[in-house]
């Protein structure tokens, strides 16, 4: 393929021609079970007929009506409908195009609203590749090495990564919260801390779920010190974890939610949601973007939400996630090289380790490649790249989970 940048390193050799449901079809005619879903994006499956119809209809009416110039119905209707699934009080939305852009929007808002300079992120975080978001990303050095200086004002505190610490969840959580208090006494004063940015499940950082004690600890400190709790639900939102939002598992109230990936079935759309009085603290002109809230992307998101609700995809994510997890645990029980199986809903992963329990990225890569050769598309993640993740479309059936598990066992 001449003319493409060599930095476009492809995880699989597939040249995709079309997609249908959980399957991708390559130009050479091969069929693949897609447990990558475009990195957790195509939750309604590839080319869901209702999404396709909504997009075709909207494209014939109005493709682009830039929202600071003219408003359009798809954006208004989508905002209204999202209001029914967002946490109470988060009644104001602002749309952009990608996860990174939405993180930047939340970062700008947090600093503007609090007039404080610092943000606290958690070790293993991934918030994106723009300079601000990359500066808040600690899951691997490849995301920020080589283009310093990064944005200042980022303070890193531990995440309860129990398996890597070799501790129980409770020990890891107590450590993370104690360390956070120490961070608030040393690396930043609470009066300088605008926001906590946290993923309900570390995504690129290795599919490590947070837990109720940790998230409530953040909420309590946020309330005590006037720090905003910003939940990066780019990967965990829209049913991916078996609840509508990842944070629904923990019963915490966010101040800001960031959503993208599963929102529009593959169309570039992302948003931040916050209380109107908080959002009003961003002054006009400081937030925006030419393509944000594109009319066709909004129509795709509306159809996506309808499909998620009418086809009970959140419940399916929980049910199929439990089935997949059980199967993965069985394979792990027969495979010493798989040290841990974890995740929530249909956001699951197996961590590959060597005999000493150290990350084994080569093993993960071999299995990922064997899987794609066998017809199952998978991705790796984690700081060392030793975690193989499964994020199938949320429409996946029990038969397709079993088909994926059979291919997984063969690849392992």
* Residues lying near ligand PLP in the complex (CB under 6 A): 39, 98-100, 103, 126-128, 199, 203-204, 232, 234-235, 260
Using alpha carbons, select from 186, 208, 212 the residue that is nearest to residue 199. Answer: 208
DSSP string, 146-164: TS-S--S-EEEE----HHH
Residue nearer to ligand PLP on the CB measure, 205 or 217: 205
DSSP string, 347-368: EEEEEEB-TTS-B-HHHHHHHH
Min dist CB 202 to ligand PLP, Å, is 8
SS3 229: strand
Min dist CB 105 to ligand PLP, Å, is 12
Q: Report the DSSP pairing between strands 193-198 and 228-232.
A: parallel
* Cα diameter, the chain: 61
Residue nearer to ligand PLP on the CB measure, 353 or 391: 391
Which H, E and C letters describe 362-387, residue by residue?
A: HHHHHHHHHHHHHCEECEEECCCCCE
Q: CA 141: distance to chain centroid? A: 19
Retrieve residue 169's tokens: 């969840």
Min dist CB 54 to ligand PLP, Å, is 21
Question: What letter would DSSP give residue 191?
Answer: G
Min dist CB 410 to ligand PLP, Å, is 28
Residue nearer to ligand PLP on the CB measure, 199 or 360: 199
Residue nearer to ligand PLP on the CB measure, 232 or 340: 232
Residue nearer to ligand PLP on the CB measure, 98 or 144: 98
Residue nearer to ligand PLP on the CB measure, 173 or 236: 236
Min dist CB 312 to ligand PLP, Å, is 25
Residue nearest to ligand PLP (CB): 99
Residue nearer to ligand PLP on the CB measure, 228 or 337: 228
DSSP string, 136-149: T--S-GGGTTTS-S
Contact (CB, 8 A) for 347 and 240: yes
Min dist CB 12 to ligand PLP, Å, is 17
Min dist CB 258 to ligand PLP, Å, is 7
Contact (CB, 8 A) for 321 and 242: yes
């Amino acid at each position: 393929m001449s003319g493409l940048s060599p930095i476009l390193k492809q995880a699989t050799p597939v040249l995709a021609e079309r997609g249908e449901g959980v399957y991708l079809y390559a130009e050479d005619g091969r069929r693949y079970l897609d447990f990558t879903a475009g990195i957790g994006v195509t939750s309604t499956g590839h080319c869901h007929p209702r999404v396709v119809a909504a997009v075709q209809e909207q494209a014939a009416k109005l493709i682009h009506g830039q929202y600071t110039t003219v408003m359009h119905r798809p954006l208004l209707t989508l905002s209204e409908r999202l209001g029914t699934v967002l946490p109470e009080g988060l009644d104001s939305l602002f749309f952009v195009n990608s996860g990174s852009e939405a993180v930047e929007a939340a970062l700008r808002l947090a600093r503007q609203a609090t007039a404080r300079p610092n943000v606290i992120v958690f070790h293993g975080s991934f918030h994106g590749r723009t300079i601000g978001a990359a500066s808040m990303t600690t899951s691997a050095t490849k995301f920020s090495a080589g283009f310093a200086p990064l944005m200042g004002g980022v303070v890193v505190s531990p995440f309860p990564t129990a398996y890597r610490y070799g501790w129980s969840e409770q020990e890891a959580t107590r450590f993370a919260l104690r360390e956070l208090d120490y961070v608030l006494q040393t690396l930043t004063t609470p009066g300088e801390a605008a926001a906590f940015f946290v993923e309900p499940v570390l995504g690129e950082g290795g599919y490590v779920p947070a837990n109720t004690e940790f998230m409530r600890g953040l909420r309590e400190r946020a309330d005590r010190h006037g720090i905003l709790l910003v939940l990066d639900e780019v990967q965990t939102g829209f049913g991916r974890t078996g609840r509508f939002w990842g944070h629904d598992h923990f019963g915490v109230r966010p101040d800001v939610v960031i959503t993208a990936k599963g929102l529009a079935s593959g169309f570039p759309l992302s948003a931040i949601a916050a209380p109107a009085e908080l959002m009003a603290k961003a002054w006009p002109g400081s937030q925006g973007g030419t393509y944000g809230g594109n009319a066709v992307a909004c129509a795709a998101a509306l159809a996506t939400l309808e499909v998620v609700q009418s086809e009970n995809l959140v419940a399916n994510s929980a049910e199929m996630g439990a089935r997949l997890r059980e199967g993965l645990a069985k394979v792990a029980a027969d495979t010493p090289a798989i040290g841990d199986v974890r995740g929530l809903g249909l956001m699951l992963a197996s961590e590959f380790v060597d005999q000493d329990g150290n990350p084994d990225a080569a093993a993960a890569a071999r299995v990922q490649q064997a899987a794609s050769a066998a017809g199952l598309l998978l991705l790796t993640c984690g700081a060392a790249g030793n975690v193989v993740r499964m994020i199938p479309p949320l429409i996946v059936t029990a038969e397709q989970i079993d088909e994926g598990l059979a291919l997984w066992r063969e690849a392992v």
